[in-house]
Amino acid sequence: MRVISGTARGLKLASLPGDATRPTLDNVKEAIFSMLFDSVREAKVLDLFAGSGALGIEALSRGAKSCTFADKSRGAVNVISENLRKSRTDTMAEVLCDDFQNVLSTLASKGSKFNIIFLDPPYANGFIDVALEKIASLSLLEAGGVVVAEFDNGTEIDIQNYSLLKNKRYGRVCINILEAQ
């Protein structure tokens, strides 16, 4: 797993040992950022269920203004912090260790809004629908902001509060780019 483009291009990122987290494959990450195109520049980003932080670090490397990383695993948070130091993007980042629902509520109470939210929860547990609903109900997206949702092919997700801008499949992985209505 590496940073594909930008200031940290080519940097190998650390990941958690074992199979507790599922990193976004480089080809999928490249496709995501191709779909986002120039909207990453100067964006305020949230990398929810961040794992290694690869998506948020890629965004920072490509010119995002800031990124908040959130994961409930202390091990993941340690790996994210290490990767931020290695990529020299730590000054543009905030790392939170908590359950995603608590993170979203805390961010909303602080008035945080994001241009891009990466949403890549563990597959087959229903977190994606809960997170999408909470993001919409708490109005965490700036006007014109998007959620990049990664989920398992064959999973139906509830996008009733969103407009589907793009939908791509890469083997087992589906990517939806959603804009709040």
Q: Which tens digits make up the pLDDT trace of 67-87?
A: 999 999 999 999 999 999 999
pLDDT given for residue 18 in this prediction: 64
Residues of the chain with pLDDT under 70: 18-23, 124
**pTM for the structure as a whole:** 0.94
pLDDT given for residue 135 in this prediction: 97
| Token digits of residue 28 | 């999928």
Residue 44: which residues within 8 A CB-CB, separation 6 or more?
Answer: 64, 65, 66, 67, 112, 113, 114, 115, 116, 142
Distance from C-alpha of 163 to C-alpha of 181, rounded to nearest angstrom: 6
pLDDT given for residue 90 in this prediction: 93
